[in-house]
Chain A
Amino acid sequence: MSQSTLVLIPAHNEAPTIGAVLDGIRTHLPDADILVIDDCSGDGTGAIVRQHGALTVRHTFNLGYGAALQTGYHYAMRHGYERIVQMDGDGQHDPKSLPDLMAPLENGYDVVVGTRYRRGNAPAQSFSRRVGTKLFAWIVTKWTGIEITDPTSGYQAMTRRALREVAHESFPEDYPDADVLIGLHRNGIRLTETPVDMHERIAGVSMHRGSRVAFYAYKMALTLPLLPIRRRALFRDGRRETPVEAT
C-alpha cells in the first residue's frame, strides 16, 4: 500500500484468538499498522497484543463494540492515517481477504463492506440473524441503490474521507450497521461491497445474542425511519463538546 493503513480490531476477551488474527494480518497486509482496542478485557488480551508487537489502547471500562471502533477512528484521525480496515478479533474475519477488501479503495470507493454471502461459504447463522440480515440488506439496498448483501458485516475498509464522517460523537456505540451505511451514503460517501471469507467464531460470544437481538431490531426500527427527517450531516450535527480526536 502506498498510503498509510491502520487495521482496527475492537476486542473484548479475545485472548484465545487475537494472536492468530494478528499473525494473519502481518502475513497478508505487512505494511499496515495494527491497533487493538482492548474494551476492558479481563483475560489478558492486551498483553497478548503487545507480545505480538501491535499497538493497543485500553478502555477503563467496557463500552461496547461501536464505541471501541470509534476510539480506533479517533486514533486514526489523530495520527493521520489515510486508510483503515476494521475487523473482529475472534477469528471470524479471514485476514487473507484483506487485499481483496482494500482493492476497491483504489477505484475511488470510500467504504468497502466485506460480504460473506457472495462466495457461497458463509458460516452458519441463527434463523433470526439470517432474517434480520436479509431484511436490513433489502432496506440498505433499496435506500442507497447499491447492492449490499451483508450490512451487519464488521469487516470493512474505508478511506480518510469516510473516517471523518464516522469519527464523531454521534456514531452508534452499540450496533453500527445499516444506519451507518445509509447515513454515510446520504453524506456522499461512495459505498461498495466485496466478497470476503468468514469463518465460524472460534471463541468468545456474539454481540447479536439473546435479548440483544430484540434490542438490535428495535434500535434499527427506530433509527432507520428517523434518518430521512434528520439533518443531512448524520454524524456531524449537534457537536457541542470537544471532539476526542482534538485532545
Chain B
Amino acid sequence: MLSIQGPSNQPGSTQFPAPESLQVLPPQQQTVAILLAIGILVVVLELVRKRKLREEYSILWVVTAVLLLAMAIENNLLTFFQRAVGAVLPVSALFFGALLFLMLVALQYSVRLSKLTARNKTLCQKMALLEKDIEELRRRTNRHAEDPPEPGSDVTPEPATTESATPLKRTRKTKTEAS
C-alpha cells in the first residue's frame, strides 16, 4: 500500500512508520486519486452545463475535486496536509479530507433546507391570505352586479363586504381600502 516502508520494518522501530518516510503515494493510488478527481470535475461541470446542478451547489464539489487533484499530483501538498491534520499515513489524510467534505456538504444542505422550509411556509401563508382576499373581492363584485345603482342616481351604493353577509363578522375595511 505504501511505496516506502523503511524504518517500520526495522527491529525495535515504532509500530507505525515515521511520517517523513511516507511522503508519496504509490503510483497506483496516485493514478486512482487523479482519475477520481478528474471524474468528479467532469461530472460536476457536465451537471452544471445541463443545468441539473446549480452553480452555488457545485462550489464545494469543484473545490474538493481540485484539491484532491492537486494533492494527488503534488506530493508536498499532501504531505503538508497530512502533517497539518496529524495523520500517520497519507491515505488517512485523504480519507479525513473526504469526511470533512461530506460534513460540509451535509451542513450546507441543512442550511439550504432550513431556508427553503421557511420560504415554503411563507409562500403557503401568503397564498392562503391572497385566496381569502380573492374570495372577498369576488363576493363584493357579485353583490355589485346583483345590485346596480339606480339610473341617474348620484348616490354610490355602500360597498358590500364578505363580512356583512355573515352573522359572526362585522363590516371591516382592509388596509388597502382605508388608504
A interface residues (Cβ-Cβ under 8 A, vs B):
4, 22, 26, 31, 33-34, 37, 52-55, 57-61, 63, 67, 70-71, 74-75, 78-80, 169, 173, 241, 244, 247
Overall SS of chain B's interface? helix
The reply to whether B167 and A53 form a contact with Cβ atoms under 8 Å apart is yes
Quick one: given A67-B125, A169-B122, are A53 and B169 in contact (CB under 8 Å)? yes
Among the interface residues A31, A33, A70, which one has the most CB atoms of the partner chain B within 10 A? A33
Instruction: Give chain A residues whose Cβ lies under 8 Å from the Cβ of B122.
Output: 169, 241, 244
Partner of A244 from the list B129, B132, B175 (CB cut-off 8 Å) is B129
Q: Do residues B129 and A57 form an inter-chain contact, with CB atoms below 8 A?
A: yes
Pick from A33, A74, A80: contact of B129, CB under 8 Å: A74
* Distance from B31 Cβ to chain A, minimum over Cβ atoms (Å): 47
Option from A31, A33, A60, A169 in Cβ contact (under 8 Å) with B128: A60
Q: Mark B100-127, 1 if CB is under 8 A from A, else 0.
A: 0000000000000000001101101111
B158-170 vs A, Cβ < 8 Å mask (1 yes, 0 no): 0000110011111
Contact of A57 with B166 in the complex, beta carbons under 8 Å = no
Q: Which residue of B lies closest to A33 (CB)?
A: B169
Alpha-carbon distance A114/B132, docked complex (angstroms): 30
Asked whether, in the complex, the Cβ of A59 is within 8 Å of the Cβ of B172, the reply is no
Q: Is the CB of B169 within 8 A of A71?
A: no
Is A79 within 8 A of B125, CB to CB? no
From B122, B168, B172, B178, name the one whose CB has the most chain A CB atoms within 10 angstroms. B168
- 16 cross-chain CB contacts under 8 A: A4-B172, A34-B169, A53-B169, A54-B168, A55-B132, A55-B166, A57-B132, A60-B127, A71-B128, A74-B129, A75-B132, A78-B174, A173-B121, A241-B122, A244-B125, A244-B126
Task: Say if the beta carbon of B130 comes within 8 Å of chain A.
Answer: yes
Cβ-based interface call for B46 (8 A) = no
Most-contacted residue by chain B among A52, A60, A244 (CB, 10 A): A244
Q: Tell me whether B131 is interfacial, beta carbon within 8 Å.
A: yes
